[in-house]
Amino acid sequence: MKILVTGASGQLGNTFKSLVENKQVEDLNFVFKSSQELDITDFEAVRQELLSDNYAYCINCAGYTNVDQAETEKDLAYKVNVTGSRNLALNCNESKTVLVHISTDFVFDGFLNTPYVEEDIARPIGFYGDTKYKGERAIINNLEEHFIIRTSWLYSEFGHNFMKTMVRLGNEKDELSVVYDQIGTPTYALDLALVVLHIIKAHSIDYGVYHYSNEGVASWYDFAKAIFEIHKIPVELSPILSEAYPTPAERPKFSVLDKSKIKNAFHLDIPHWRDSLKVALAKEALIK
């Protein structure tokens, strides 16, 4: 079974690469394309790649993910997250390729106080979330055979993410302040990658939108505190309100995802975020 991975130089793409390198998916044939090697905003390039080989699946890890910068780089964010998604959907439809697309909790406004289910109305409050939601719609409107997986607070030992930033800052500073009034769930990229592979290996035709994150909930402050405790970094950490740390883009205050649908459909046993964080920090230390 041949699988195309777009955006292969990002943290999720690198996670899939690590699984291949560690011979954990020997029964699958992966082709990795970075954004430089395959620009998903280029319709004809995507078409040629998908028609050039018999890809059973395309895992789209490509995306514009800089939440704050998206407020000023609107054309680029739209081009990658909306036009790119549409290009993939249209060409996957022609090549009979199943598309697995990664989306985000930022499609929601954060005004609920119960975990979001897939059917809840998407009301993004930032431009990044808006482009991700429009990208979802572009896929749904142009390709039946798709899995859209919304995830949250993705981190890993690869790329740029909150975990790696906190480890770096914790080693550089004696004191740090982190917001405690934004609630969600940290998600380890390895766990997400394994779920994607589980869906592929199941040859499922239960297409549609799914929510996936690790189990449990946390504030960014809780997440940072756990990083410092597990990694034994002696930094004095203070909780602050979001208004004390203004950013160009507004974030949802509550974006916990209900995972009942994906757990029931694929019989998943999902790890708690703290347990997965221990694994990620151990691997991050090995890389160093």
CA-based nearest residue to 159, from 22, 284, 270, 55:
284
- Tokens representing residue 174 in the block: 């004696």
The answer to whether 184 and 105 are in contact (CB under 8 A) is yes
Q: Which residues contact 44 (CB under 8 A, 6 or more apart)?
A: none
Kindly calculate the radius of gyration of the chain based on its CA atoms and give it in whole angstroms.
18
Q: Which of 55, 64, 128, 180 is catalytic?
A: 128
> Is 128 annotated in the active site?
yes
| Residue 72 exposure: Cα atoms within 13 Å on the Cβ side | 4
SS percent in the chain: helix, strand, coil, step 5: 45, 20, 35
Catalytic site positions: 128
